[in-house]
Structure 1
Amino acid sequence: MIDKFVRSMAEAMNDIRDGSTILMAGFGEVGAPHALLQGLIEQGATDLTIVINSTGRVHRPGQPVTGLARLIEQRRVRKVITSFLRSQSIAGAAVRDGRMEAEVVPQGTLAERIRAAGAGVPAFFTPTGAGTLVAEGKEVREYGGRPCVLELALPGDVALVEAWMADRWGNLTYRDSSRNFNPIMAMAGALTIVQTHHVCDLGQLPANEIITPGIFVDRVLHVQAGDPVLPR
C-alpha cells in the first residue's frame, strides 16, 4: 500500500546531505514551508545552495533570527539563488562579508528555470536580461529580431513544499496564492518533501483539483494549521 506520510520531522528530513541544492518554495512568507525549514535547521546539513524567491526581511534588533536567516547566520549556506536580496538583511550582510555567494535571477527566469527542470527541458532562451549583467558569460542568440539569453534549468536535490491538503499517495492542493512556487519546485526536486495543513482520504480530492500529482512527491508530513512546527 502506498502511503507517503512520515511520522516525524526527523523522518521527513532524513538523508539530506551536506552540499545539497535545496528548492525552498514560497513568495515571501506566503506558501513557505516554515516547519520544514525549521526541520532543516535542526537536521544539520551544511554547505547548502538555497534556491528561493526572496531571502527574507531586514532583521530588527531584539527579534529572534529564524528561517533562512538562521541557516545563514549558522554559516551553513554556501550560496543563494534568488530574485530578491535586501542589502540590509542577514543574507545581504553575509554576501557583503564574503561568507556567502549570491546569484540574483529575474523572477520570471527563476520560475522558468525551475519549471524547465521539472519538465525535463535542459535549457531555454529568453529575452529577459539581454544586454545587462544577467547575460554576462552566457550564450546570446537573436530570435525574432530580439537578443535572447541562454538560461539553464535549475533542478534541486531536495524540494521543500507547503500544501493545503494531501492524501496518502501525495496528491496535493494549495490554498490561494500559496500555490506560487510550490508546484514547480515539487516537480523539480529529486527528493520532494511536503508539509500539509490537512489530510484527506484517498479519492476525496477531485481529480481536476489536484495541482501536484503524487508521482512528484516522496514524503508528506502533516503539520496542523496554525501550528507550523508540530508534526503529525
Structure 2
Amino acid sequence: MDKVVASADHAVADIPDGATLAVGGFGLCGIPSTLIAALVRSGTGGLRVVSNNCGVDDWGLGLLLGLGRITRMTSSYVGENKEFARRYLSGELEVELTPQGTLAERLRAGGAGIPAFFTPAGVGTQVEEGGLPWRYAPDGTVALASPPKEVREFGGVRYLLEEAISTDFALVRADVADRHGNCAFHAAARNFNPLCAAAARTTVVEAERIVEPGELPPDAVHLPGVYVDRVVAADPQDKRIERRTVRPAVRDTVPARGAQEEK
C-alpha cells in the first residue's frame, strides 16, 4: 500500500515515447513541475498531452515543448507561450482546442468510465461543424481539421456528442498526500488535478508534504488513493508566478492624525 517512490526520476522512468499524458494545473497554478523536470531529464518524446494549457516558454510543459518532445496537445487555452503558437502555425505541433468546461468533463467522464456525453457547448460553431485546424502544413494550409460532431436534440435543445478522454499516464501536484496516495489540494491548485488523476491508467503525484496514513482527515481528501499509483516528494518552493502584476505606489496625501492641531 505504500506508494511513495524514492525520486521523481524513478517515478516517470517507465513513461515511453509516444505515451498519452494528462497533466494537471491551470496556467502555472498547481502544475507538477518536479515531475515535468524529471520527464525532461528522461529524454522521453513523441508525447500526446492533455492539459488546460502548455505552460510558458521556459517553465512547465513549455520545457518539453521547447525541446520538441510534445507532438500533440489537447487544450482549452494556448496561453502565454510563443513557442506553442510558433510550432502550431508551422505544422510542428497538432493542437485540439476544446472548450474549457468540455475538456474538464471529458477527463471526468474518462475517469468515471463514461465513453461519451452530450453538451450544449459549441453548438452552432466550428466545434459542431468541424474544420478547426488541428495541424497545419508547412505552407500554411490546413493538413488536418477537426471532424463534425454528432448532434442530438433533447427537450427542443441541440447538444453535441463529446468523447471521454483517458490517458496512459497522469502527472499531478498535490498539497498533501499520504503514503496510500490519498491527496488534498490547496485552493485553486485543485483545478484539473483530480480530473487528470482519475482519467489515467497510471497516475503519479508529487506532493509538497507527505504524511502517514490516517493523518489526512477523510473529509479533507479530494482525490482517493485508489486513483494514485505513485507518490513522490515535491519541492514546495518549486513554483512560479505566471504574470506578476502590481499597482504603482501611491503617496499618502492624507495628513497624519493630529498634524492640523500641531500647526
Counterpart-to-counterpart distance in 2, 1:213 and 1:192: 12
Instruction: State the match for 1:48 in structure 2.
Output: 47
Distance 1:201 1:76 in 2: 36
Q: 2:63 aligns with which of 52, 62, 70?
A: 70
Give runs of aligned pairs for residues 1-232 of structure 1, distance below 5 A: 2-57=1-56, 59=57, 65-86=58-79, 89-135=82-128, 136=130, 137-227=148-238
Distance 1:87 1:177, change over 3 A: closer
| C-alpha separation in 2, matches of 1:217 and 1:73 | 29
1:56 Cα deviation from its structure 2 partner: 3.1
Q: Secondary structure at the match of 2:232?
A: strand
Return the letter of the residue paired with 2:165: L
| 3-state SS of paired residue (2:153) | strand
Distance 2:119 2:236 in 1: 39
Equivalent position amino acid for 2:53 in 1: S
- How much has 1:143 moved relative to structure 2? 1.3
Between the aligned partners of 2:160 and 2:238, the Cα distance in structure 1 is 43
Q: Deviations over 1:129-152 (max 9, x none)?
A: 011111122111111211111000
Structural RMSD (CA): 1.4
Q: Aligned partners of 2:235, 2:81: CA distance in 1, in Å? A: 33
Number of equivalences: 221
Structure 2 residue runs of 5 or longer lacking an equivalent are 131-147, 240-263
- What is the Cα deviation at residue 224 of structure 1? 3.2
Structure 1 counterpart of 2:224, one-letter code: P
**Which stretches of structure 1, 4 residues or more, deviate above 4 A after TM superposition?**
none
Q: How far apart, in 1, do the equivalents of 2:97 and 2:173 lie?
A: 24
1:134-188 CA-to-partner distances (Å, cap 9, x unmatched) read: 1122111111211111000011111100001111100100111111111111111
CA distance in 2 between counterparts of 1:185 and 1:149 reads 22
Deviation, structure 1 residue 88:
6.3
Distance across 2 between alignment mates of 1:73 and 1:97: 14
What TM-score, normalized to structure 2?
A: 0.81
CA distance in 2 between partners of 1:87 and 1:212 (Å):
29
Structure number with bigger Rg: 2
Question: Residues 97 and 171 (structure 1 numbering): CA distance in 2 closer, same or farther, change over 3 Å?
Answer: same
Q: 1:56·1:89 contact (CA, 8 Å) conserved in 2?
A: no
Confirm or deny: 8 A CA contact 2:31 2:60 kept in the other structure: no
Query: How much identity, in percent, do the aligned residues show?
Result: 42
Code of the residue aligned with 1:32 in structure 2: it is I
Determine the C-alpha separation between the residues in 1 that align with 2:29 and 2:100.
16
